[in-house]
Amino acid sequence: MEESKYNATVVGKILLRPDIMTLRLDTDEPRKEFSAGQYTLLGLYGREERSPNSTPETDPVDPDKLIQRPYSIASATTQLEQFEFYISQVKSGQLTPRLFNLQPGDRIFVSKRIVGVFKLAETPQKQDIVMIATGTGMAPYLSFLRSYLIERPDSKMAIIQGAAKQWDLGYYSELTFLDNSFKNFTYIPTLTEADSTWNGHELWIEDMLEKNVLKDEAGIEIDPEKTHFFLCGNPKMVENVSGWLHEKDYKKHTRKEPGALHIEEFWS
């Protein structure tokens, strides 16, 4: 057996649902400065135990193999030794069932590299920002808000979070608090399978955009000259919303060709 590559310790784990959690890790050494929206690799060896509510692996892994996957960082950019991640369990997967079996004090691998081009810092200071998410696609936006909300008072920011039921709205309390505390931030959750206790929106995200909810609730215009859109989450949502925005003259942002539509290319 090779020497362990583990270089971080679990310091916090909160199960929001049986298959959704926040995971907090302390790295043995601080990481270099990074931009909100970027990601790093987490890893565990195949010999680690899987969670009790997982299912057998679709593709069994070698016990001595270090399984690594990318995860967006949810913590602020000022935290270079403690990192937060928002993770959903794929019951038959290789890594997430092992992540869900972790407890405080357990060891884990965290890559020293933090990378990615899904960065709010590259948008012009006074332009407005709309962040659209489903599922754990919320993670990079938490880093955005925790890092930049106070620093960008001239930018109106909004999060549209789509989910099925109320308990699928991860970070609902924190986002509601920010909405109530900052004039330049608006939180707009919407549910597709709400029960009678829900008083909010019950629309698909594209329908919300079509019905001018952003303008009415956040004072934000859908205009590529004024507003940048970030999309992260379910690939079907990203496809549908990006298609809708393309019709409004939005162009995808790349390193070579800057645009006002930013899409996270992986979802974890």
> What is the reported pTM?
0.92
Domain range summary for the chain, segments of one domain joined by +: 8-110, 120-263
Q: pLDDT by residue (tens digit) across 122-139?
A: 788 889 999 999 999 999
Same fold, 8-110 and 120-263: no
Label residues 74-100 b or e (16+ Cβ within 10 Å = b): bbbbebbebbbbbbbbbbebbbbbbbb
Question: Which pair of structure tokens corresponds to residue 98?
Answer: 């092992």
Sorting pLDDT into bands at 50, 70 and 90, what band is 228? very high
Q: What is the mean pLDDT of the chain?
A: 94
**For 240-261, how does the pLDDT look when each residue is reduced to its tens digit (9 = 90+)?**
999 999 999 999 998 888 899 9
Check whether domain 120-263 has CATH 1.20.58.480, yes or no? no
Architecture of the domain whose range is 8-110: Beta Barrel (2.40)
- pLDDT tens for each residue of 32-91: 999 999 999 999 999 999 999 999 998 889 999 999 999 999 999 999 999 999 999 999
Does 186 score more than 60 pLDDT? yes
Q: Whole-angstrom Cα distance, residue 171 to residue 221? A: 25
What is residue 266's predicted lDDT score, i.e. its pLDDT? 60
Q: Determine the average pLDDT of the residues in 197-213.
A: 94
Question: CA-CA distances (angstroms) from residue 131 to 46, 210, 261?
Answer: 35, 16, 10
Q: What is the pLDDT of residue 124?
A: 86
pLDDT of 268 above 70 = no
